[in-house]
């Protein structure tokens, strides 16, 4: 398999929504095995699977009850072993999603803690409340409400930065760290070739006090011992295998910390996910609002991270959507009139950047946001909580629903659209209805239709993935922002050992002019989303709605 992470592409699968082979309405591991040839045809090198361990599924598997057992709804250990082996035969590696900031309150460690076992109570953060009976701090859970839950038996509270059933682990306890290392080694021994670490930069807490901003982020984000913990984990586990790639999901992180997380010689992680570029349609850090995308902010953030990480020999994961995000073509493109053009444009911007691209299932088809019209169709705990919170703040039910429709994580979790049958080929005819509704546009947006169409979004992604392997200027080159203040154009230059690449994109659904465009003499177009090639004339480049092109010499 291709083990150069710079030339690799990772395909993310949300197993619950990928392919159901036993007709119970839930995706399963045999469904992933069944579709390995499809992923291979796309050109991916690694397959990232979101958690399929035993879990009560209060947060769709990110509330892990047992890291060593497979949830029966997904399959069995034999299925995992077969999946790893079959992927390896096709030159692909498996990347597992490890949730180590917290565990389910049904995990043995927490159950033992609740029985009063002092050894396991130290695995978590149990604290006395304030003298007036309030929780220990005013920190806010990321899913809404206070981040502390009262336990009458102890007259103490435990910390949960996420759902009340997700208790935070105390990484300051060496025994916790040793248990985590043991879990990673177990899956390495099974042949896993990659690890994605969920919200890993939250594991080091800086103490417990009220936060004047109210959310508590400054006390647990990129904490004082985070680099120590990651170096230790690296040295004890995956650092011994050069074939293994790792990526850390970094919540509200800083560029300065990410130099260290993903520095070439840092001894921590291969690369990082940061999310600042996906907050450009937020109001500050508040996502449950409706505001237009700030295009200039998007460019500023992406270019700052691209050039900053390069200057410090550090590596990014680059992406437009995942299981926690709305569909990128609905969010930043046009999922109706210019659906195909805008989906290809957004892909081009990401795949030619400096970093390892991640493709989320269905992104390569231009899958769109869910077309849900009633709150009863949503399943995501965060969305349901905030639907109520928005109304508690005075919004009408219809306005709260509109915000949820735009921002809900369920937009990325509707079933994969394989064909135009009743359940989009996710569940075979006669099986149970899928656990969450199928997008109504699956009759036209599906794998079967796109494999037959040489101009499809799928084939465009396929070519972008191949170009990264073919052209070292993409995988290894420097990046130089262009058109930094243009109101419509996203463009940059890549350079490497005498090779040059220019990427240009019109971010909007109207024709635009790029004055003082680069001279393309000697360049040839290697990919673009319009049949007709457009070049600058007299220093002016006229770009059609959502037009993008990549030029190379």
Tens-digit pLDDT string for the chain (553 aa):
788 999 999 999 999 999 999 999 999 999 999 999 999 999 999 999 999 999 999 998 999 999 999 999 999 999 999 999 999 999 999 999 999 999 999 999 999 999 999 999 999 999 999 999 999 999 999 988 999 999 999 999 999 999 999 999 999 999 999 999 999 999 999 999 999 999 999 999 999 999 987 789 999 999 999 999 999 999 999 999 999 999 999 999 999 999 999 999 999 999 999 999 999 999 988 899 999 999 999 999 999 999 999 999 999 999 999 999 999 999 999 999 999 999 999 999 999 999 999 999 999 999 999 999 999 999 998 999 999 999 999 999 999 999 999 999 999 999 999 999 999 999 998 999 999 999 999 999 999 999 999 999 999 999 999 999 999 999 999 999 999 999 999 999 999 999 999 999 999 999 999 999 999 999 999 999 999 999 999 999 999 999 999 999 9
Q: Identify the pLDDT of residue 3.
A: 81
| Cβ-contact 75, 53 below 8 angstroms | no
Homologous superfamily of the 108-168 domain (CATH): Oligo-1,6-glucosidase; Domain 2 (3.90.400.10)
pTM above 0.85, yes or no: yes
The C-alpha atoms of residue 51 and residue 67 are separated, in whole angstroms, by: 9
Of the candidate CATH numbers 3.40.50.300, 3.40.50.20, 3.20.20.80, 3.30.413.10, the domain formed by 10-101+174-463 belongs to 3.20.20.80
DSSP letter for each residue of 253-312 = --HHHHHHHTBTTSSS-SEEE--GGGGTTSBTTB-SS-----HHHHHHHHHHHHHHHHHT
The C-alpha atoms of residue 234 and residue 268 are separated, in whole angstroms, by: 6
Domain(s) of CATH 3.20.20.80: residues in the chain: 10-101+174-463
| Cβ-contact 71, 55 below 8 angstroms | yes
* Catalytic residue positions, numbered: 198, 249
Q: Both tokens of residue 9?
A: 């592409």
The counts of H helices and E strands in the chain are: 17, 22
Domain(s) of CATH 3.90.400.10: residues in the chain: 108-168
E strands, 407-534, in order: 478-482, 489-496, 499-506, 512-515, 524-528
Question: Which CATH architecture is the domain 477-552 placed in?
Answer: Sandwich (2.60)
Q: Identify the pLDDT of residue 185.
A: 98
Domain(s) of CATH 2.60.40.1180: residues in the chain: 477-552
């Amino acid at each position: 398999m291709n083990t150069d992470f710079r030339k690799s592409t990772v395909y993310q699968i949300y197993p619950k929504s990928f392919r159901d082979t036993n007709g119970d309405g839930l995706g399963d591991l045999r469904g992933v095995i069944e579709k390995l040839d499809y992923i291979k045809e796309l050109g991916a090198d690694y397959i990232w699977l979101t958690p399929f361990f035993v879990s009560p599924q209060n947060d769709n598997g990110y509330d892990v009850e047992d890291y060593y057992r497979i949830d029966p709804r997904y399959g069995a250990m034999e299925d995992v072993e077969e999946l790893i082996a079959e992927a390896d035969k096709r030159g692909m590696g498996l990347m597992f999603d490890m949730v180590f900031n917290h565990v389910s309150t049904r995990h043995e460690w927490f159950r033992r803690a609740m029985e009063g076992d002092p050894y396991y109570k130290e695995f978590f953060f149990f604290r006395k409340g304030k003298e007036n009976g309030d929780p220990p701090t005013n920190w806010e859970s990321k899913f809404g409400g206070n981040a502390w839950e009262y336990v009458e038996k102890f007259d103490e509270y435990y910390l949960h930065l996420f759902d009340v059933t997700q208790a935070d682990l105390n990484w300051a306890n060496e025994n916790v760290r040793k248990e985590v290392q043991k879990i990673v080694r177990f899956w390495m021994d099974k042949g896993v070739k990659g690890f994605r670490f969920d919200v890993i930069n939250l594991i080091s807490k800086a103490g417990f006090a009220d936060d004047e901003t109210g959310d508590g982020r400054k006390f647990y984000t990129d904490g004082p011992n985070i680099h120590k913990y990651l170096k230790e984990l690296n040295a004890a586990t995956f650092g011994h295998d050069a074939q293994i790639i790792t990526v850390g999901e970094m919540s509200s992180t800083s560029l300065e910390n990410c130099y260290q997380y993903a520095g070439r010689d840092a001894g921590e992680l291969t690369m990082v996910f940061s999310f600042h570029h996906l907050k450009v349609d937020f109001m500050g850090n508040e996502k449950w609002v409706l505001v237009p995308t700030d295009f200039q902010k998007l460019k500023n953030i992406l270019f700052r991270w691209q050039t900053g990480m390069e200057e410090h020999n550090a590596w990014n994961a680059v992406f437009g959507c995942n299981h926690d995000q709305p569909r990128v073509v609905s969010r930043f493109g046009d999922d109706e009139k210019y659906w195909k053009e805008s989906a290809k444009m957004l892909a081009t911007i990401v795949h030619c950047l400096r970093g390892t691209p991640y493709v989320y299932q269905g992104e390569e088809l231009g899958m769109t946001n869910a077309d849900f019209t009633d709150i009863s169709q949503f399943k995501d705990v965060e969305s349901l909580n905030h639907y109520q919170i928005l109304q508690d703040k005075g919004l009408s039910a219809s306005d709260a629903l509109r915000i949820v429709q735009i921002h809900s994580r369920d937009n990325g979790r509707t079933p994969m659209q394989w064909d135009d049958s009743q359940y989009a080929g996710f569940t075979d005819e006669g099986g149970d209805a899928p656990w969450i509704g199928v997008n109504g546009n699956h009759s036209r947006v599906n794998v079967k239709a796109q494999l037959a169409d040489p101009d499809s979004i799928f084939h465009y992604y396929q070519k972008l993935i191949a170009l990264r392997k073919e052209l070292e200027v993409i995988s290894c080159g420097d990046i130089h922002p262009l058109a930094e203040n243009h109101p419509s154009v996203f463009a940059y230059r890549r350079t490497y050992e005498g090779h040059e690449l220019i990427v240009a994109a019109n971010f909007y659904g109207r024709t635009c002019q790029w004055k003082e465009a680069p001279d393309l003499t000697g360049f040839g177009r290697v990919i673009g989303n319009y049949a007709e090639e457009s070049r600058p004339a007299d220093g002016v480049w006229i770009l059609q709605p959502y037009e993008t092109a990549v030029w190379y010499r």
